[in-house]
């Protein structure tokens, strides 16, 4: 289903104003592939993303093949129709989407093709995701005028959390604060970041507030 880390945003003039996955990831220019490595903890790849020339996903891996999305198919309007999920390299599920205006129904079929779960996604008129819901789990987003997510509310039924983001002038997340919905602060859930950028203004090095290098990215362009 939809992951929160798939939903960030920034503009990209080279995509002719079309909202796509490349924009959702805050990437600028005709990015083909991004490989992100965790330097601070493990030096392992923690995310790999590949895009077609139109800026839509063709492959995404959450790191070490823990959760992989691939075999993306799109309709004539470049709307996502279906994709397949693999967990630790093994086939896990097929996801199919249907559209009704700004409402999207995302159905997961398990490895036996049984209907396993349904998620409802609501977008605004530009195609930016504003909320998702599946069973008791509900997530909503507030965005600024650039489409960047400034607040995310996760209602998990028994627990509820609000995450607030601020951004620097390049559109990268500068600070993240996560608290419970009742205002109770969560220990170790406040972070600040700085970055080093390539010539396209995409970050290639990410530092924590102590100035330690925590992530690097290798970016390939068309």
**What pLDDT is attached to residue 17?**
59
User: Along the 222 residues of the chain, how does pLDDT read in single tens digits?
Assistant: 343 333 333 334 455 556 899 998 999 999 999 999 999 777 677 899 999 999 999 999 987 667 899 999 999 988 999 999 998 889 989 999 999 999 999 999 988 888 889 999 999 988 899 999 999 999 999 999 989 999 999 999 889 999 999 999 999 999 999 999 998 888 778 999 999 999 999 999 999 999 999 999 999 999
Whole-angstrom Cα distance, residue 168 to residue 178?
A: 18
pLDDT (0 to 100) of residue 113: 82
DSSP state of 75: -
- The pLDDT of residue 118 is 94
Task: Give the other-Cβ count within 10 Å of 99's Cβ.
Answer: 15
What per-residue confidence (pLDDT) applies to 4? Answer: 35
**pLDDT at res. 15:** 54
Rounded Cα–Cα distance for residues 76 and 43 (Å) = 40
pLDDT of res. 171: 94
Largest separation between any pair of C-alpha atoms in the chain: 49
pTM for this one?
Answer: 0.84
């Amino acid at each position: 289903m939809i992951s929160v880390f798939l939903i960030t945003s920034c503009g990209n003039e080279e995509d002719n104003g079309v909202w796509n996955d490349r924009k959702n990831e805050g990437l600028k220019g005709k990015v083909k592939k991004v490989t992100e490595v965790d330097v601070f903890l493990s030096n392992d790849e923690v995310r790999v993303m590949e895009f077609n020339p139109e800026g839509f996903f063709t492959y995404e891996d959450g790191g070490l093949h823990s959760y992989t999305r691939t075999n993306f198919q799109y309709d004539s309007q470049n709307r996502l129709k279906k994709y397949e999920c693999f967990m630790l390299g093994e086939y896990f599920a097929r996801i199919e989407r249907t559209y009704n205006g700004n409402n999207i129904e995302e159905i997961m079929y398990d490895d036996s093709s049984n209907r396993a779960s349904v998620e409802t996604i609501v977008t605004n008129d530009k195609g930016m995701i504003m909320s998702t819901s599946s069973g008791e789990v509900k997530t909503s987003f507030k965005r600024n005028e650039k489409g960047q997510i400034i607040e995310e509310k996760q209602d998990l039924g028994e627990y509820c959390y609000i995450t607030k983001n601020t951004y620097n002038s390049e559109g990268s997340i500068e600070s993240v604060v996560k608290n419970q919905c009742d205002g109770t602060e969560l220990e170790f859930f406040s972070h600040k970041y700085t970055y080093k950028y390539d010539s396209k203004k995409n970050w290639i090095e990410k530092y924590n507030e102590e100035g330690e290098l925590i992530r690097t990215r290798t970016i390939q362009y068309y």
